[in-house]
Structure 1
């Protein structure tokens, strides 16, 4: 014990420096944990799900799992035929008539989504029709439906988006939806978000949509 006390007295400066470094490291670890949790909490999270089944009558739901509200700007879709890829906006319920709706806002899925909330943009059959499919349901088998939900949030300087793809396989006289992955893939990189903003502007303004399908396929 005496030897230890003598050592501490003789090396008091070194001990103080070591203690200060240890305290600094501990605080840095706590700061890293706090910032990581804060950033994770503020990060957007958009889901694209099936609801009420696994066939084309299932509802297409866009959910906001982020901590902050999000505004659904648009939902883009493409039906992969192995040829040219056409991109369409499918957020509006074009199959409904305005005079049949008590609230005109029900004609579109655009609007704010609270944290933990969702928007129903229609059945997958309706979504496929809005994306340009005009044939029977059986014509959709062995095709892939790609959906992209685009939102605006307070935390993002640009839009944020999520992508999910569904294979459509024949199951008897029906078509079954099979998602590629369990969850939607989040798009957060600044470069890709700028591309998405450019795509929306071109669709909104009616500008040239040349190569739009190729760009959409890469996102």
Structure 2
């Protein structure tokens, strides 16, 4: 055995070095993936402090770095059509006493912070004004199928804007909680083509 090891020591050293190289490569890959996952921006869109149309919509920054919320888009959908409107700014404030922080939902969000962008009912009502169905007396659950919210933001490590979206489904003839999330989690807008699409939508709503 010792003679065989002595005769093949060169080949064994090469094999051991190659094995160590593979181990280090796998380790660096795992480290890099964990680092990139931590750096990846994440925005949450949830509802709380109420039910149905009275529930407040909360936008939270779960990224490792601050983000800057640039715009919030509301989209109302029927089976075959959709309407979109920017609902970033807050309505109903005293114009004689402007306060920028209270007049808009645009602004920075530090890690772990959240902002209340209003009730689902108010966001839906404002989006509904741009539709071809302006009759406010008809409940939206009798007219529309879904309401989608898109949050568009800037992130320090990203060249393109980032974003997240959450869809809420109307439940007609349901008293109380007549609008519910269509998905369990917020969908992150991370694909390059989708981020470019969101950037185009943002330009349309400047």
**Is the structural similarity TM-score above 0.5?**
yes
On the 8 A contact 2:141/2:178 being kept in 1, the answer is no
> Hey, what's the Cα distance between the residues in 1 that align with 2:4 and 2:198?
65
Runs of 4+ in 1 over 4 A off after TM superposition: none
Q: 1:203 aligns with which of 195, 198, 205?
A: 205
TM-score in terms of structure 2 length: 0.89
Cα distance, 1:175 vs. partner?
4.4
Partner Cα distance (1:17, 1:46) in 2: 48
Aligned residues: 200
The 3-state SS of whatever aligns with 2:63 is coil
RMSD of the alignment, in Å? 1.9
Q: Could you tell me how far 1:180 is from its partner in structure 2?
A: 1.4
Per-residue Cα deviation, 1:46-66 (whole angstroms, up to 9, x for no partner): 111101133111111111111
Q: TM-score, normalized by length of structure 1?
A: 0.84
5+ residue gaps, structure 1, are 205-219
> CA separation of 1:18/1:77 partners in 2, compared to 1, >3 Å: closer, same or farther?
same
Q: Which residue of 2 aligns with 1:179?
A: 181
Is this contact kept in 2: 1:144–1:168, CA < 8 A? yes
Pairing partner for 1:123 from 116, 119, 126: 119
- Shift of the alpha carbon at 1:7? 1.7
Q: 1:156 & 1:112 partners in 2: Cα distance?
A: 15
1:33 to 30, 33, 36: 30
Distance in 2 (alpha carbons) for counterparts of 1:48 and 1:73: 15
